[in-house]
Amino acid sequence: MKTLGPVKVDKELGAPETIYYIFKAQGVNLLTESTTNRVTTLFLMASMDGEPGYPGPLPHGLSFSMTRDQVRQAIRAPDKFKPFYDAWEQGSHIFRVEYKSGAIKMVMFMGG
């Protein structure tokens, strides 16, 4: 985690089972199990409200400027969806895309 730069650690969010690491300068957040430090969720954030976003490539050829329809065309119809997100399941893993103002706000990878 040192290569991601300065980190804010939130031991209260989801406590006591999880620890939330926020790498604001890189637009990356991690959720880990507090007893094993196993990463359970990876968040890649879009640039919003003057905060930097994740600068790297997104899976499936996605970009943060894509609309929900473009995301669905690039991947496929989601397995689950709500007004603000689409989710695709593969075994015990979930790939989730959240939207705000018509574009991708965040991409999440959740493991089982």
pLDDT attached to residue 13: 67
pLDDT tens string, the chain, 112 residues long: the values are 456 667 778 776 666 788 889 999 999 999 999 889 899 999 999 999 888 999 999 999 999 999 999 999 999 999 999 999 999 999 999 999 999 999 999 999 998 6
pLDDT attached to residue 18: 86
Q: What would you report as the CA-atom Rg of the chain, rounded to the nearest whole angstrom?
A: 14
**Amino acid identity, residue 43?**
F
- Supply the pTM of this predicted model: 0.87
